[in-house]
């Protein structure tokens, strides 16, 4: 949901597991309900394999690797045990009117995950021009240009830091 006063403000949805689910556009062509996870990798996106099979795009035509495991949404007769397929293709996710660029992505079966979502991602490491406001009291997120951003009163800053190779975390004071 967006308003005239805040055209880039996006009200997110919380299910009983407190997941942040937001609608986004992938590569300017496919709408998806995504799980926004601030602790997820900021360089890769996870896509649901069934979603990709139902919405074919050139971006997911040439994988670089597949890992064996549980079934996915891809053609099960061809390879019945593929669990994760990795792609070294750029991917753009538009959220709140901001294009976020990612270097790669992978697909897997998300049918057993918390809630129903078609992708999972965090802020892009390439986005250095925005400060993202996450307001959990009123359930919205909104990007602000970083060059003229003024911190509102009564707010806290928790910087994201890298934890390992793919994960992010918050450093609490």
The pLDDT of 132-136, averaged and rounded, is: 83
Q: What is the mean pLDDT of the chain?
A: 78
Q: What is the pLDDT of residue 16?
A: 52
Residue 128 pLDDT exceeds 70: yes
The band of 25, judged by pLDDT with boundaries at 50, 70 and 90, is very high
User: Which residues neighbour 101 within 8 Å (Cβ) at sequence distance 6 or greater?
Assistant: 90, 91, 92, 124, 126, 127
Beta carbons within 8 Å of 89's beta carbon, 6+ residues apart: 59, 60, 62, 104, 105
Split at pLDDT 50, 70, 90, the class of 140 is confident
pLDDT digits (tens, 9 = 90+) for 39-98: 777 788 989 988 888 998 888 888 887 765 444 444 445 544 556 788 888 999 999 999
């Amino acid at each position: 949901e967006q308003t005239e006063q805040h055209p880039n403000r996006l009200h997110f949805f919380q299910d009983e597991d407190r997941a942040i689910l937001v609608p986004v556009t992938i590569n300017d062509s496919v709408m998806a309900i995504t799980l926004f996870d601030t602790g997820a990798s900021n360089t890769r996106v996870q896509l649901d394999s069934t979603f990709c099979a139902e919405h074919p795009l050139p971006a997911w035509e040439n994988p670089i690797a597949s890992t064996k495991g549980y079934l996915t949404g891809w053609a099960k007769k061809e390879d019945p045990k593929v669990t994760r397929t990795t792609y070294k293709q750029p991917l753009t996710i538009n959220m709140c009117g901001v294009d976020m660029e990612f270097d790669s992505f992978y697909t897997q079966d998300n049918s057993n995950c918390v809630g129903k979502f078609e992708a999972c991602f965090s802020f892009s490491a390439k986005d250095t021009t925005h400060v993202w406001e996450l307001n959990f009291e009123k359930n919205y997120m909104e990007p602000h240009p970083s060059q003229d951003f003024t911190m509102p009163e009564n707010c806290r800053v928790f910087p994201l830091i890298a934890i390992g190779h793919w994960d992010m975390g918050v450093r609490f004071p």
